[in-house]
Amino acid sequence: MTEPMSPTEDDAISALQRLGLSKYEASVFVALQKLENGTASEVDRITDVPRSQVYGAAEHLEALGLIEVQQSNPIQYRSVDLDEARARLRARLDNEEQNAFEYLESVRGEHAEDSESQVDVWTSLGEATVSNRIVELVEMADDRILFGAAEETMLSDAIMDTLTTAAASGVEVTVVSENPAVCERFADADGIRTQVIHEDPMIEGHGGRVLTVDAETVLLSVLGSEELPDPDREAAIWSAGTGFATMLTGLIDRWFNYHLD
């Protein structure tokens, strides 16, 4: 097994840029780790940062609390403790994230009523994204849920917990699979009906997961194949409260009723 390569200086500078520093600021910060403390000319000597730009970069690093400045002649710079620097960058990122998502939440749907058209069928890519969407759709259920998965690995703890909670609240929950191990996961779950499908799978080939909720919400996924860039990727389509969802839910219900024991 090949051991991972240690990060290079370029890797570190690129990573610091992704954490919010400019290239010059990242280069100066890295240089001060090597020098422990140094002047602008010393930083210039071991970096590609022009001496005239070191001062501005250092001034911003000081404002961020990442370096300390000694008002000597010439001026000396040194980095704060790396654990402190890490905490300050993380806090800055957290603050930026909070500001961004507070704004996004405040404008969500602001012009929805002005939209000329509505997209009825949505796509979700990636196993984690599909799993999160399934949990959200299951939580919307009032009457009944049909859930199917090709493999036990596609049944996350979050999905199991959400299905179990729905059943406990009085929702009719049915779990189907060609794989008995999927159904066995619900052997001790009260109120959840299971059905092993022995033949004629709903989705031929690279079937993934199936979900219907209250005859008006549907999700279908397939696993990546040779035609997709990532063989492990899961792709899903889903729709809620549309004529498409109602039609497809009806087809799935008829398929399931045909395979009842």
Residue 260 has pLDDT above 70, yes or no: no
Q: Residues 60, 64, 66, CA angle at the centre, nearest 5°?
A: 95
Residue 1 has pLDDT above 70, yes or no: no
Is position 113 within any domain?
no
Q: CB of 69 within 8 A of CB of 38?
A: no
103 is written with which tokens?
A: 């704004």
Domain co-membership, 83 together with 169: no
Q: Residue 205's domain is classified under what CATH number?
A: 3.30.870.10
Q: Give the distance from CA 125 to its chain's centroid.
A: 10
Q: Residue 35's domain is classified under what CATH number?
A: 1.10.10.10
- pLDDT digits 0-9 by tens, 193-236: 998 887 655 555 557 899 999 989 999 998 876 555 454 578 89
Domain co-membership, 131 together with 71: no
- Residue 134 is predicted with a pLDDT of 95
Domain co-membership, 86 together with 129: no
- Residue 231 is predicted with a pLDDT of 44
Q: How many domains does the chain have?
A: 2
- pLDDT digits 0-9 by tens, 37-86: 999 999 999 999 999 999 999 999 999 999 999 988 899 999 999 999 99
Is position 105 within any domain?
no
**Domain limit, last residue, from 47, 66, 90:** 90
Domain co-membership, 184 together with 240: yes
User: Is this prediction's pTM over 0.75?
Assistant: no
37 is written with which tokens?
A: 């403390």
Range of the domain at 211: 122-258
